[in-house]
Amino acid sequence: MSDKSSSNAMWGGRFAAGPDAIMEAINASIGFDRRMAKQDIDGSRAHAAMLAAQGIITDSDADAIREGLLTVLSEIESDTFPWRVELEDIHMNVEARLKEIVGEPAGRLHTGRSRNDQVAVDFRLWVRDQCDAADGALKALIEALIGQAEEGADWVMPGFTHLQVAQPVTWGHHMMAYVEMFARDRARFADARKRMNESPLGAAALAGTSFPLDRQMTADALGFDRPMANSLDAVAARDFALEFLGAASICAMHLSRLAEELVIWSSAQFRFVAMSDRWSTGSSIMPQKRNPDAAELLRAKIGRIFGANVALMTIMKGLPLTYSKDMQEDKEQTFDAADSLMLGLAAMTGMVADMKGRPDDLRVAAAMGFSTATDLADWLVRELGLPFRDAHHVTGTLVAKAEEKGCDLPELTLADMQAVHGGISEAIFDVLGVDNSVRSRTSYGGTAPDNVRSQISRWKEALS
């Protein structure tokens, strides 16, 4: 076998043409960075307008470039653009097509600019757009949760610790807990957006340029607050993407926790919710089953977002300033994570909006496991002046007595209770029972229905 054929066999499969094909495949990013076409063209239009304003290129050249870029964008949006892998990336594909359309003026567009600051501004614009998209999707999810909270503000359900029944809470209170979580996610995306809102355009390859650029003009045109102050940092930084992925990971974790609860709650053992057929599937062999597939798939997709966060951190951790080709690997991870996050938010919003709580089953479950034991202990402290540890011991003894009799605490007789502590009076029955329990939790942030309605009103006002 010749050296050439041996080499081809070693490369194998689609790369049988040899090292040139391998290099083209590993070097090209156009297969994924074409997603930044609008951001690339926006950046180029801003740059061309600034070059003309500074007298670096003529107004006629700037006009030709602007019109040509609009034609390119129209071709991309109508899916008629002639993508070419050999041109490597979105920047070179757009520039080459621009030259075919307008000729010589296209060559002046790159004055005072490098692909290093060009990709930095494109990617920053794209990630900024994703922060805005996540904010809108989170607002919709929060509104769906508030809708559920309003419907069941006084539905009683079990609150859990260790997935064991702990104390009664209200359905509305549980829904509003997720409102608080997802509101913090909105704040994280907003905070990340604010910090990333500086323009790298004009930093050129790494050291700036000798052309008299007006970087504030391009920053303003692209909606940035200001140009980045250090040209090395401008082309080297990817922490804006890491912040987005960090916020996305925390948000995804919250989505996964809610998805897990929906999986548990919709099971035959719990029966807390009925999931809509739109978000469930049947079994191919067991006709009685309704599987919460959307929640399960969402729970699994979260791993892709976590993985992207770790992958980009790993890519960046060992890179000296400024640009290295490793950084080409930043986009696929971030694109995939953004897609998974937006899909997850949309799916969860649909599931929450469509699901039906089962108040009767929730109430039965809330009364299980001696869930009002803490109310009994609190009463002993408040009314009889017992130290809490003593009240805890008395309550534990009464729980054991109820277990022995096969009943719940409110079903014990007064005589049963007084046999454990003679100071217990008929008034104890005013605090026992799940409805009494939740109504009594009126401390700020507590589960009382009036509290829940107050929080709903506060959030509705905030969202409007």
Catalytic residues: 162, 283
DSSP assignment, residue 107?
G
Amino acid residing at 344: G
With a CB cutoff of 8 Å and minimum separation 6, the contacts of 201 are 43, 46, 47, 113, 117, 118, 120, 121, 215, 218, 219, 222, 227
Which distant-in-sequence residues (6+ apart) come within 8 Å of 309 by Cβ? Answer: 242, 245, 246, 248, 249, 337
Residue 140 burial class via C-beta count within 10 angstroms: exposed 0-12, middle 13-18, buried 19 and up: middle
Report the length, in residues, of the chain: 464
Look up residue 460 and give its two tokens.
């509705």
Cα separations (Å) of 391 from 383, 416, 441? 11, 16, 19
Q: At 170, which helix (H) or strand (E)?
A: strand 164-170
Residue 442: cis peptide before it, omega within 30 degrees of 0 = no
Report yes or no: 325 and 282 within 8 Å, Cβ to Cβ. Answer: no
Strand duo 226-227 + 198-199: pairing: parallel
